[in-house]
Structure 1
Amino acid sequence: MKSSNRIISVGVVGCGYWGPNLIRNLRQSPDCQLRKICDTSEQRLKHMRRLHHDVATTTSYDELLNDPEIDAIVIATPVRFHYSMAKAALTAGKHVFIEKPMARTVAEGEELVEISKCKGLVLMVGHTFLFSPAVRRMKEIIDSGDIGEVQYISARRLNLGLFQKDINVAWDLAPHDISIILHLLDETPVSVSCQGSSHVNRSIEDVTMMYLTFKKNCCAFIQNSWLDPKKVRQMTVVGSRRMIVYDDTEPLEKLKIYDARVEVPPHYDTFAEFTYSYHYGDAYVPYIKQDEPLKLECQHFLDCIRGEAVPITGGAQGLEVVRILEGADNSLKLKGEAVNLVEELVHATNGHQSHNGHTNGNGNGNGKSHINGLIVSPAGRGALAA
């Protein structure tokens, strides 16, 4: 039901790294009343009170859940709290915006999606880059057919830190690139491979390389690191006619279109006559209107609650990212073996997937391995080997 003039009352939990940015943007929206801020740290809350002196603060999450005036809760806590806090908020009848990744497992994500559907509540996941004007423009260019068929995508998201204690670098950084790639291709990958290494904390990978395969002979590479001296936020989309380079660290020229391609001769009589044709054309920078993605994302969440929009990054989209991350985790345990995401989805849909987080090394008689209910094909073994 639409309610265009309604002011949405919001509570925010989590005032660490990202929460203050969400609070700032929500405060700036005329459609939002920031009613209460929650964090376990009294020191952080004191800082928030200096910035937002008219907003109530609390160290008790129950205060947000039990406040009848609060319509929605924004969750910006460490990942290990996402599921329990989101479930409690949905159960209390609150709309939920939850930072990426939405949960630690597919099972947790599925439960959150089911509760939100049953209660008719908005569940939105913070995949902020889908609201970036540069990503939106890139999507328009690809959909127009201007670059031809997408052949592969390469993404690099690197920096020095910030080290997380409860997730590895793939869970921390790859959700951005996975969500962008899924958005650009409008397609779910059929398999994922992942290799990584741990250098600072031996139990948590701080460097990973992920490989996604799609139908139509398309693939994507995602490199993530907490151990790089330079901040890199770059994605290259290679099409059959043109190529796009997206660099989010550029202040203005975030997108560049290269009129470059390789052409195969239509026919030749001998191998000696066979030569590739390399086309080097001009590069141009398309005009992109400058808007803060997080501001657009927060406004979209409010619009969805008021019935004016459907979440672009809803629970289903967030769940798909978690499904890929969980598959990548299992590939890491199997030294880079390819995990078949299509068969995983079938197993999960049929209720056969194991969610206990333990490896099941039993064979099934057809030469495939099992881990967490996922089927690993021998054909994918060593897909990322050097």
Structure 2
Amino acid sequence: MKSDEKIENVKAKMGPQYLELSLENGKTVSLLNGTWKLLKIQPVQWNKKIPNAAEEIQERDRVQQLSEKGNIYTPRPEEDKISPVSNFFLGLIPGYSGLYRTKNYWGAGTFTVLELAATANLISISSRQGLHGGAFQGSSSVTAASQNTQDTIFGEAILGLLLLTDAVTSSIMASSWNEGTYSGEPLRFSPKKTTWYGRGFRSLLFPGWGQIYAEEPGKGYVFLTLGASLFAAGIYQDNHIRTARREYNADKDQILNSDRIVTYYNPYPVVRYEWDIPLLSSNIIRAEGSKENLDDAKILRGNIWGALAAVWTISLLDAIFFSGNKDKLTSGFRFNFRVQPNSQVYETRAMGMSASNTEYFAELKYSF
């Protein structure tokens, strides 16, 4: 308590305004939030009733669940709480994340880097639209304008998705921040129980999250780092493709300008346009080189997005089948052989003899 009084050996249930305590004598006591400062999670030891095996398992599961984040809980003071709504809107600011307020600097820094990259990419697209209008002629300008529109929509979609993800995550983390802080070590009587669908859903959202949730952070951070790196590389490669496409369209336009003015006197001066063959050949070769660079950039972009999809898929399958200490989807055989004497004794009256029977058991089990 804030008065330094200790209330021990009780079961606690936290509510929005009260902390409800269940006492050994069956009574309950409600403590108003703000009157207590610390909750230490540990198994209760009530002596009046001897619990059976099922109740002991239930008590262990209760303690493990309560202490999943740590066995010492400290509520968040009212003056330090963060509004989830305001944190949501802060996450919509490009380059800033509401996670900074909850001291989740690693996640906040990741969002900042990705959002700045996506914003710079979008600004680059917008600045090139003005250049395309005066640089191209004929059908090339129409093609470039259409391509710029598609690139702009794609760039805006990437930035919008990042900002929305940042905003939702910031709001959720603010709610978690307001609950309070946990310290100490979780009380574990057995490995942490995680379900395959719980791990799979998390890895479906972000590669590596399911492994981190299953307390295998080594694999989780590897998948998360690879996913973020490939995503950033994909955005960069998209920007490189737009540059290569602009250069290719400009080189194509130069082919149309590979002519020259020739004046003939027969007997009066006549002006004609003729192809400058050396210049035409040079421009065609240059355009072919630009087209090859553009095709190579598209192939590399496909490889990057394909690698990201592969990492995401492997992370999902690993989270479902190979992560976590419980509820793994595995299969295997088990063979068991045992000998058990039979307690029954058979009497043969005619011979005046008795005999005992020995039974042999063998079982083969397949589990999935």
Q: If the length of structure 1 is used for normalisation, what is the TM-score? A: 0.21
Higher relative CO (Cα under 8 Å, sequence separation at least 6) belongs to 1
Structure in which a larger fraction of residues adopt strand: 1
Q: If the length of structure 2 is used for normalisation, what is the TM-score? A: 0.21
Structure in which a larger fraction of residues adopt helix: 2
- Tell which structure's C-alpha radius of gyration is larger: 2
